[in-house]
Structure formats: structure tokens, C-alpha cells
Amino acid sequence: MARSLKPLVQRWSSRVFSVELDGAPLYFAVREKLRGGPASPAAFSKLQQEDRCYSLLVCSGDRIRGDRFHWELRDKLLRDLPPGSDVTSMSSFLPEEKGSLLKGYFFKSRAGDSPQVEELLGDLEQRDPVLVCSYSRSEDGQQWTQSLRSAEKNLLRFYVVPSEAPEHHPSVLNMINSDVFYSLDEASEVLRKCDDIIPETRSVLRMLPSRVDARSKPDFPVIVVEGLDATGKTTLTESLRDALGAALLRSPPQCLSTWRARFDREPPLIRRAFYAAGNYITAEQICQAATRSPVIVDRFWHSTAAYAIATAVTGPVGNLPHEGSEVYCWPSDLLQPSLVVLLTLDPEERKRRLRSRGLMKTDEEQELDHNKLFRLRVEEAYRRIIGPACITVDASPSADLVLQQALLLIRAKCHL
Ligand SMILES: Nc1ncnc2c1ncn2[C@@H]1O[C@H](COP(=O)(O)OP(=O)(O)O)[C@@H](O)[C@H]1O
Ligand SMILES: Nc1ccn([C@H]2C[C@H](O)[C@@H](COP(=O)(O)OP(=O)(O)O)O2)c(=O)n1
């Protein structure tokens, strides 16, 4: 273990740990001494008598390296661990302490597999920014202990005890400027730092505006249309362009389309920085176009933030950062549209439109179809964003009626 990890280990027993077991988070803490408190969380008892468990937490000082390593580690574990290891997501955090979240994995191992597992973990520990813990249970099966390898290679042993669920989903602690970016500087700093590993980044950086001025008010109204895939954004934005004699733009902008698939394969930090950068490029295009005509924009910051927040958080809508949280606030250096229209659609009708269009797109869009909770989180995150907030339009009537509804709103709100 590197020397730099010492401060982390010193506060080890102030941490809460979270493991996804059977699709629900199990929270636990560790204590150096047992003071007659409760034994290990009941969910641990589901693990077989002969099972030993392990956790790996990524703790790189370099967040780009750490995020990429964490992203690749899952595949490595699934490939190299014995079958039946049940690799699942894990995290650890200091309650209420921003930036304290560590992400990693938890898995089981049968006694007979120990040599193979220990060899893999030993290799990882030597080369990579990980903290490895093993978990074993007492003879009577009631008490689990967690062993953490210290800098001196001896084991620090802790008792595993139950912990209450935190008030917010742990991911919220690291969301700002990791999942969601709030300034061009923060997003471009991430992109600059990964230009050696992703050469395409240099081309993206060259397209970024040299300065941003979010205060100058465009001459003509800027109307953003948001919504899940297949809610009818393309149909509506094209009709609005024709009806209003407007310019039609999108985010990510056309000039980034060559590189989008490349960044979609990257872990969240890099991927979200790419989409954030796209918004600033689109903002510059909006400013220019809005000197001549109204501007219609197909997706903008609402999409970037809502998908990022809904992906970082798991589980029901109640796990989202609470309404009014700073994570929903529009970046102060990004041009504010005059109006944001959110198209909403009944899930069955959306699926029908997706099918009739005949193609599914990004993994996240496929996920939306499979995972009802994810779809609900994205929609709710859209609704919670403020400065500007979005105005919902029901997209289930015919395309012409949806257009009329949107035109009514635009005339009322933008004096067109
Ligand atoms: N109001 C509507 N009623 C019925 N079908 C629609 C309507 N709006 C769009 N569609 C159809 O639904 C599909 C998805 O629409 P599209 O505009 O491509 O959505 P998005 O741009 O949001 O992904 C297309 O096949 C389109 O023709
Ligand atoms: N401004 C934007 C636009 C899209 N995204 C992300 C969010 C989702 O992962 C995908 C959705 O894009 P998708 O290609 O399905 O969108 P369209 O159907 O082209 O409107 O892109 C973003 O983060 N910021």
C-alpha cells in the first residue's frame, strides 16, 4: 500500500461501506473494538459458511486514472476470477463529506479458490491504486471481520457492524464536477488531462470557445427541446424550425459527431466532460445564430445533467439528490435558453415509437427501455433542474397537435 493511502486508512473506521447485494444496497461500518453492539448485518448471513469475501476499493490520487482503472477492473474481475464469484458494485464514503466516495467491487470466493484469488489480488495491489480487504466470519457465524492490508503489510482487523442508510445516495458526494460539470474550465481540465490516452481529445479541445460570456442576451429567443429518446424531439424541432424560420442546432454539435462514439466508450468522468464541452460549443453557435433568427436546440444541458445524475445514482427516484440541491443548478457560465420544453410520453407509446423507428441507439437508451427505474430517474432529474426550468408538453397527441402546443407556449413565453 502506498504511503499516500495512510490518511485514508487513519479514518477507516469513520467510513461507511455499501455493497449491492440482491439488487439492494447493504450498508455497514467497521469498528476496532466491539462494545457489545449488534453483530454483523443480517444480510451477511446469506453468504455460505465456507465463503470468504473480498473488496477492492479504487483510491488513485489521479481521478482520470482511477476512473479508467475502476471502469476496466470490472471486466478484469469477471474474466479472471473463478466462476460463481458474484462480483458486485461497492463503495465507501465518509458520511456528509463531499469528495470522500471510493468506488470498487465486492465478491465471494470459495475456500478452494483462495490461492488463485490471492494471486490476482496480490498482483493488483502491487501495480494498481487499490485497497484490498478480505472478510471472514467467526466460528459461530455471527460476527464478520474485515482485514485491510496496511503499509507495513500486516493486517488491520476490524469488526463488521451494521450502519444506517445515509440520507443521500453515496454517489451524490462526488457528483459535482465528476458526473456533472458546472463550468467550461472544469470540463476542459478533464479533457486536457486525458489527451495522451485519448488523442481524439485534442481535436475536441481545439473546438472549444476561447472564452464564454453567458451574460450577453441573444437578440432572438433560444428554445431548447428536451426529452427521452423517441419522444419526438427531432420531429418537433424540425417543424418549429420551419414554422418560425428558425435556425436548428443540437448538442452535442454536428462537429463532434465523429468522436462521440469514442467518448461513449469511456468511463463517466471523461464521457460527461465530453458532453459538457459539447454544450459550450453549441452555446457559441447559438449566440451567432441568434443574432439573425430564433434558434431551436435539440437537447442541451438538461440532457447532460439528467442522464449523468440518473446513471450515478441507483435504485428508486427517492435516491436522487433532493429537489433544490445544488446539483440541479444551471452552470453560471453557460448561455441560458429563453425556454426549455420537455416532451413527455407514456412508456408504452415511447416503446412503440422506438420500435417503429427500428433502431436502438446508445447503451444508455437501451438501458432506458429495460430499466424502468432508470427512466423514472432521468425524467425526474429533468424536472428538478432549475435556472431555466423546463416546461412539460405531453407528446402523445399527433405531431401537428404537439407542434401547435409548443407554438402556443413559445408565443406566450418568448413574445414571438
Ligand atoms: N406526435 C407524434 N405522434 C406519433 N408519432 C410521432 C410523433 N412525434 C414523432 N413521432 C414518431 O416517433 C418516432 C420518434 O420521433 P423522433 O422525432 O425521432 O424522436 P427523438 O428525436 O426524440 O428521438 C419517429 O418515428 C417519429 O416519426
Ligand atoms: N446534450 C446532451 C445530449 C446527449 N447526451 C447523452 C445522454 C445520453 O447518454 C445520450 C442520449 O443521446 P441520443 O443519441 O439517444 O439522443 P438523440 O436520440 O440523438 O436525441 O447522450 C448528453 O449527455 N448531453
Q: In this model, does residue 130 exceed pLDDT 80? A: yes
Direct distance between the N- and C-terminal alpha carbons of the chain, in angstroms, rounded to an integer: 64
Q: Give the ligand whose atoms come closest to the C-alpha of residue 401.
A: 1
Same domain, 142 and 180: no
Same domain, 358 and 297: yes
pLDDT for 162 equals 93
Same domain, 109 and 181: no
> In testing the pocket of ligand 1, which one of 229, 235, 362 has its CB within 8 Å of the most ligand atoms?
235
Q: In this model, does residue 117 exceed pLDDT 90? A: yes
> In testing the pocket of ligand 2, which one of 204, 272, 307, 379 has its CB within 8 Å of the most ligand atoms?
307
pLDDT for 138 equals 85
Residues 6+ apart with CB under 8 A from 319: 168, 169, 313, 377
Q: In this model, does residue 46 exceed pLDDT 70? A: yes
Q: Give the ligand whose atoms come closest to the C-alpha of residue 358.
A: 1
Three-state DSSP class for residue 95: coil
Q: pLDDT category, 51, cuts 50, 70, 90?
A: confident
The pTM score is 0.94
Last residue of a domain, one of 122, 146, 168: 168
- Evaluate whether 201 touches 191 at the Cβ level (below 8 Å): yes
Q: pLDDT category, 193, cuts 50, 70, 90?
A: very high
Q: Rounded to an integer, what distance in angstroms lies between the CA atom of residue 59 and that of residue 47?
A: 27
Same domain, 104 and 220: no
Same domain, 356 and 400: yes
Last residue of a domain, one of 168, 199, 226: 168
Which atom from ligand 1 is nearest to the alpha carbon of 356? Answer: 25
> DSSP H helical segments within 343-398, as ranges?
347-357, 363-370, 372-384
- Residue 229 Cα to ligand 1 middle (Å): 9
Q: Give the ligand whose atoms come closest to the C-alpha of residue 364.
A: 2
Same domain, 111 and 207: no
Q: pLDDT category, 266, cuts 50, 70, 90?
A: very high
Helix (H) or strand (E) holding 199: none
Nearest to 53 by CA among 154, 136, 132: 136
Q: Give the ligand whose atoms come closest to the C-alpha of residue 394.
A: 1
Q: Rounded to an integer, what distance in angstroms lies between the CA atom of residue 306 and that of residue 268?
A: 13
Which residues are near ligand 1 (CB < 6 Å)?
Answer: 227, 229-235, 353, 356-357, 395, 398-399, 402
pLDDT for 359 equals 63
Same domain, 207 and 353: yes
Which residues are near ligand 2 (CB < 6 Å)?
Answer: 229, 233, 251-252, 275, 279, 299-300, 303-304, 307, 361-362, 364-365
- Residue 162 Cα to ligand 2 middle (Å): 40
pLDDT for 24 equals 84
Same domain, 143 and 183: no
Q: In this model, does residue 114 exceed pLDDT 70? A: yes
Q: In this model, does residue 366 exceed pLDDT 80? A: no
pLDDT for 47 equals 75
Which residues form the domain of 255? 175-414
Percentage of residues in the chain having pLDDT higher than 70: 94
- Evaluate whether 183 touches 332 at the Cβ level (below 8 Å): yes
Last residue of a domain, one of 113, 148, 168: 168
| pLDDT, tens digit (0-9, with 9 covering 90-100), for 94-113 | 999 999 999 999 999 988 88
Query: In whole numbers, what is the pLDDT of the chain averaged over residues?
Result: 92
Which atom from ligand 2 is nearest to the alpha carbon of 308? Answer: 23
- Evaluate whether 301 touches 279 at the Cβ level (below 8 Å): yes
Same domain, 91 and 184: no
Domain count along the chain: 2
Same domain, 140 and 221: no
The CATH number of the domain holding residue 201 is 3.40.50.300
pLDDT for 112 equals 84
Average pLDDT of span 22-26: 85
| pLDDT, tens digit (0-9, with 9 covering 90-100), for 291-340 | 999 999 999 999 999 999 999 999 899 999 999 999 999 999 999 999 99
Same domain, 258 and 147: no
Same domain, 163 and 219: no
